[in-house]
Amino acid sequence: MRSPSSPWVWSLVALAMGCALAFAEAHRIAAAQQEVRAQRFDSLVERATAELLERLNIYEYGLRGTRGAVIAAGNGQIRRESFRRYAESREMAREFPGARGFGFVRRVPQAQLPEFLAQARAERADFAVQQRSAHDGDLLIIQYVEPEAQNREAIGLDIASEANRRDAALQALRSGQPTLTRPITLLQASGQPSQGFLFLLPIYTAHDGRALPLDAALTAEGLAYAPLVINEVLAGQALIHDELSLALYDTDGTQPPQRFFAEPQADDAAHAGLVRRVALAVYGRQWIAEVKATPVFSARLGLPPPQRTAQLMMGASALLATLLYFFLRDRQHRRQAMVEDAHMAAIAENAGDGIVGLDPQGRITRWNRAAESIFGRSTAQVLGRPLQDLLTGADGSAPGPLLPTARTEFTAQLQRDGRRIDLDIRSAPVVAQDGRSLGLAVTVRDITEQLRADERFQLAVEAAPTAMLMVDAQQRIVLASRKAEELFGHDAAELRGLSLDALIPEGHRSDHADNVASYLRAPQPRAMGQGRALYARHRDGRAIPVEIGLNPVRTREGPATLASITDISQRRRLEVQLQATLDRLRLAVAAADVGIWVWRLEDEEMEWDARMFDIYGVPPALRAGSGWVAFWQSRVHPDDLLALQPGLERLRREGGTYEASFRITRAGETRHIQAAAIVEHGPDGRVQRLVGINRDITAQITAQDRILELNTSLEEQVARRTQELHHALEDARQATRTKSEFLANMSHEIRTPMNAILGLCYLLAGQQLPADAQAMLQRLRDAGQGLLAIINDILDFSKIEAHRLEIEQQPFDLGGVLDNLASVMAAARGDKPVALVVQPPPAGCRYLVGDSLRLGQVLMNLLSNAIKFTERGEVTLGVAREDDGATPGRVRLRLWVSDTGIGIGPEQQAHIFEAFSQADSSTSRRFGGTGLGLTISSHLVGLMGGNLTVASVPGVGSTFSFTLDVATTTAERCPPLHQAAARLACGAAARRLQGMALLVVDDSEINREVAARILGGEGATVSLADDGSSALARLAQQPTAFDVVLMDIQMPGMDGYEATRRIRATPALRQLPVVALTAGAFPSERDKALASGLDAFVAKPFLVDQLVQTLLHVRRSGHAAPADQPPARPGATALDVQRGLAVYGDAAAFALALGRFMQLYGDEALQLRRASPAEAAALAHRLRGAAAQLGLVDVAERAAAYEHALGSGRATDAALDALAQAMAQAGAAVADYARQAGG
């Protein structure tokens, strides 16, 4: 007979075959449709990218038209009105949709900026240059752009002041090709960040653009440009429709792509997986176009969904399967109905469970033998009675009614023979074919013993020391103990019904499945996964190492498995710790290079490890066996064995520890062994074995003996070397003293005649000499100053070698230092075609604390070298701030001097800062110099906390730079520059020592004459003495006749020190100021002079202004005060010729400098009226410094007053008018002086 499930099987087979055919057909249709979509999508992508590039090509035509308009206007002749007429002649909106306009960017060199601004403001009064950041190169200024109304914000922008715009502009200028910038934010479209571009096309005037020279960027007149915003460029294009979504990225291969355009759906997932990334080369940029399909794309294809065909085929299959099922089921029912009744009676009667038949009212109609046995009642006793009358509920109450239309299952009890019987009762309705209820079929089972067994089993499981789980055949948990709750973190209710896989970590579930399958093939008590690591999963996700024991059991529901689970986490931790301890012990033993031995006392045998065998020289082939105690005793030196025995015996008896050293003999040589041992006790407390180590210390003993020998030898060598070092140190000290004395004497002997030479030059410069004589005098003076500079360099170098050069820390005005350098170096430049650029200090970095003299010395040395080695081009002194301002009161400044001179090769750069070193021998022959300047400058920068470096390319130029961390101060702590300039400008014309009586003591007749003439020219009365004795005699005769004594130090007979001591010892002369006027220039000489009682120190050759200021400072109070200043000569304040000649040396150079001044500053008053307050203050500051240097006193004072008025915020018109008047008077005075000098 066929299985009752046969109709289902055949109907399911029919349904499965139909569904399989439906799925296969749907898959075929879907694949074909996807190929159609891909082809259509690729076509749309190609068309979209082509339209994008075509749109950009249109703008190139516009740029070329703009360039043609500029070139047609002539070289630099395009003007605003002509550019506007050209723009109005084009239909911008129709010809170039999406473009914001077209414009012209003019290249403006820095030097031509004022001229350009004047021309631009003539066309547009409010024209101003906008810069994102300052830079040194040419400016690229947007001069014209049309339509102007929607691009007004961009007019005047220097696109070279922003990196992205500048990079694209330079690329276009160098390549001659149209070029796009990176995505930027246009000034006129600031609300659309990083969505704009500048489209640039270079415009050249010197060639046709097809064969660019190397300096093409320098010959360009400018660029035609178009500002673009990508949203506007793509607005209204056919490619922007609802079938595709577009996103655009800009990339250069070095950084992640930057997205600058995206449609609203660009971030959505691509429909049907259709997405393309297309690389586009767009005018010097690399773009990536990311195109995605939208749902509208597929909808417009009109392809029917494959699911519809599959659904129709599956519906037909289901209908067919249903019809087949009902047909087979009816046929099966008819066959079964014939035999069912015959079997039912036999089954019911012989069943082990009680079977009871009830009518619809619940009365008993059938009662088999098993029911008689369970209830203890015969069929006759129960027929017609309700079954509930025989039962009580589990709680002693009456059970609920049995429902005739539903299956029910419950437990009940009955009392029989004085004991309680537990029953499992299950009922099912009996229904006729026409649907009528015929009653219930009830099955009754006695489960009393089973429940008692379940209770005992539950108690045993709960009492188990390990976690216990019972799982059924489907691997679901049916029982869990309290230990299981603790192990897994779930309570018993959560565990029951849970799949066992849920308690296994994910990484171990496959292994668990293999273990379960292995157990189910042969269920028997055993450990799971023998030899494998098993893990359970806690509720919090952590894995717990476990051991699992399995036992098969049978339950009412069928076969099950009882699992005993032990948490072995603690055991694993102990095992790991034990293994780590063993590893460390092995490592320690190996590192200590010791051998380990165990001496068993019960059988007097030893166990050795491999290192023990190595120490005693036992080859590997002989290491098996026993008898190692006797072997050890045979190897120990006999004398040492006798000494070892008592200690070993005591260790065996008393325990404790044992240490010893002894000798062994091995292969004819003696080895030294260090040993130690402890005892191990047995359970009875007696010593069972000795455990110890041996270490070969032969090398250590040998080294100690060798050290003792070497120590004796080294002590002798140290004593000998110490004596030699004392002699060498004394020789070095003597050499240093000799060198210092030689330099002092050399300096003195050279400075004495140099004082005379330069003094006479100073005196002759004030005379009316022929032009030829003036020129020779200037050469003589320059030669003397050059020799003096060499002497100063040698002395500075000597101080550096002796580590006696110190750096002062005083407030100073960095702007003043730079102004002074600009003036001095402008004169030093002479007629060379070299532009000298001195940058002003950055904001907040003007007033500093440091050594302004040494800083100026370094910068002047670098500038002098730059001018010397630059035949034409430019020399720049720059200063920039490099810190972020995070440290109040301190700044980090980078100073550099760059030139466009001959440059320095790499091999010469390695030695450029070494003493007496120049780039090569030809440099010394051609340009001269000692090679000490850079050495001294490098050391000075090092003392100031910096590092002087050089970067140079031969034939291109050099840059020397250094960085200093300096403290800042305030202007109040620095002398006001305009006051100092005024004093300097006016002081040279005055007879500053009028009425002062001086005594000059010097053994050199010519130096006495020079001093007398110079000081007499300053208004002083000068007396002379040729040595200290004659000076004392003169002072003894006239103790109150002199205000100051100028004393030479090194003189024959009585020197200056002795003469000064005697003056101080004379009460009448004790307060008389004495100034050292000496050729000694060492700090030690200065200190010695001041210590001997001298009031001040002036080195020869002296500077007149310095000497005069010193004398005014130290003159005797109240005696022979200077007379009133004589009135200035007419025109002296307009042009102080004497002051100018004192700076420039000869009339020709002075006249040339005056002419250059008028060329640079002749229209300064007009520039000041047009400038902003900040620009005007900077211009006035430069004018003041240059005028003071040239002796233009009125201009210097008026410029200082105007600068002060700007700084205080007062009205400046009157001060500016006064400055303009002073400039006019200075121009007239300069013209007069030029005529006199030319005549």
CA 1149, CA 758: separation in Å to the nearest integer?
18
pLDDT digits (tens, 9 = 90+) for 721-757: 777 777 776 776 666 666 655 665 665 566 667 666 7
Extents of the domains making up the chain: 63-234, 332-446, 451-573, 593-696, 809-974, 986-1114, 1137-1238
DSSP 962-994: EEEEEEE--GGGS--HHHHHHHHHHHTTS-TTT
pLDDT digits (tens, 9 = 90+) for 900-918: 998 988 888 777 877 655 5
Give the pLDDT score at 1124.
35
Who wins on pLDDT, 926 or 44?
A: 44
CA 798, CA 793: separation in Å to the nearest integer?
8
Beta bridge partners of 204: 220
CA 398, CA 393: separation in Å to the nearest integer?
5
Give yes or no for residue 196 having a pLDDT over 80: yes
Please, which contacts does 136-140 make with residues 24 or more away whose CB atoms are closer than 8 Å?
A: 136/110, 137/110, 138/107, 138/108, 138/109, 138/110, 138/217, 138/218, 139/107, 139/108, 139/109, 139/110, 139/113, 140/105, 140/106, 140/107, 140/108, 140/165, 140/166, 140/169, 140/222, 140/223
- State how beta strands 354-358 and 285-293 pair: unpaired
Beta bridge partners of 600: 605, 689
Q: Is there a common fold for 63-234 and 332-446?
A: yes
The answer to which of 188-197, 451-460, 526-535, 978-987 has the lowest mean pLDDT is 978-987
Give the pLDDT score at 488.
81
Is the four-CA dihedral 755, 757, 758, 759 of positive or negative sign?
A: positive
Contacts of 648 (CB under 8 A, 6+ apart): 658, 690
CA 1074, CA 1045: separation in Å to the nearest integer?
5
Who wins on pLDDT, 243 or 903?
A: 903
CA 1048, CA 1056: separation in Å to the nearest integer?
6
CA 1239, CA 1230: separation in Å to the nearest integer?
14
pLDDT digits (tens, 9 = 90+) for 251-296: 987 788 989 888 888 788 887 788 888 989 899 899 998 888 888 8
Give the pLDDT score at 1025.
92
CATH number for 1137-1238: choose from 3.90.550, 1.20.120, 1.10.287, 2.40.128.
1.20.120
- The topology (CATH level 3) of 63-234 is Beta-Lactamase (3.30.450)
Contacts of 1235 (CB under 8 A, 6+ apart): none
Beta bridge partners of 894: 880, 963
The answer to which of 49-53, 464-468, 1020-1024, 1135-1139 has the lowest mean pLDDT is 1135-1139
pLDDT digits (tens, 9 = 90+) for 1154-1209: 877 787 777 777 778 778 777 787 777 777 767 776 778 888 888 878 877 777 66
At residue 980 the predicted structure's pLDDT band, cuts being 50, 70 and 90, is very low
- How much of the chain, in percent, has pLDDT values that exceed 90? 14
Between the alpha carbon of residue 883 and those of residues 133, 811, 818, 1106, 1176, the distances in Å are 17, 20, 21, 38, 27
- The topology (CATH level 3) of 809-974 is Heat Shock Protein 90 (3.30.565)
Give the pLDDT score at 464.
73
Which CATH architecture describes the domain 451-573? 2-Layer Sandwich (3.30)
Give yes or no for residue 246 having a pLDDT over 80: yes
Amino acid identity for residue 1107 in this structure: L
Q: Which CATH superfamily is domain 593-696 in?
A: PAS domain (3.30.450.20)
Show the beta-strand stretches assigned E in 702-846.
810-813, 834-838
Residue whose pair of structure tokens reads 């103790």 in the numeric block:
1039
- The topology (CATH level 3) of 332-446 is Beta-Lactamase (3.30.450)
pLDDT digits (tens, 9 = 90+) for 600-624: 888 888 888 888 888 888 888 778 7
HSE-up (13 A, CA, CB side) for residue 215: 3
Give the pLDDT score at 1132.
43
Q: What are phi and psi of 1041, to 5 degrees?
A: -85, -15
Give yes or no for residue 209 having a pLDDT over 60: no
Give the pLDDT score at 177.
92
**Token code pair at residue 1180:** 């006035």
Who wins on pLDDT, 675 or 218?
A: 675
CB contact at 8 A, 751 and 1079: yes
Which CATH architecture describes the domain 986-1114? 3-Layer(aba) Sandwich (3.40)
Give the pLDDT score at 799.
59
At residue 758 the predicted structure's pLDDT band, cuts being 50, 70 and 90, is low
At residue 680 the predicted structure's pLDDT band, cuts being 50, 70 and 90, is confident
Give yes or no for residue 415 having a pLDDT over 70: no
Give the pLDDT score at 998.
93
Residue whose pair of structure tokens reads 């948490």 in the numeric block:
567
Residue whose pair of structure tokens reads 């990508």 in the numeric block:
230
Give the pLDDT score at 702.
86
Give the pLDDT score at 1121.
34
- How much of the chain, in percent, has pLDDT values that exceed 70? 79
Q: What is the CA radius of gyration of the chain?
A: 56
Greatest alpha-carbon span in the chain: 175
Give yes or no for residue 305 having a pLDDT over 60: yes
Give yes or no for residue 341 having a pLDDT over 60: no
* Residue range 465-486: mean pLDDT, rounded: 82
pLDDT digits (tens, 9 = 90+) for 696-719: 888 888 888 888 788 777 777 777
Q: What is the pTM of this model?
A: 0.33
Average pLDDT score over the chain: 79
* Residue range 301-329: mean pLDDT, rounded: 80
Which one of 49-63, 457-471, 770-784 scores highest in mean pLDDT? 49-63
**Token code pair at residue 6:** 């046969």
Give yes or no for residue 1006 having a pLDDT over 60: yes
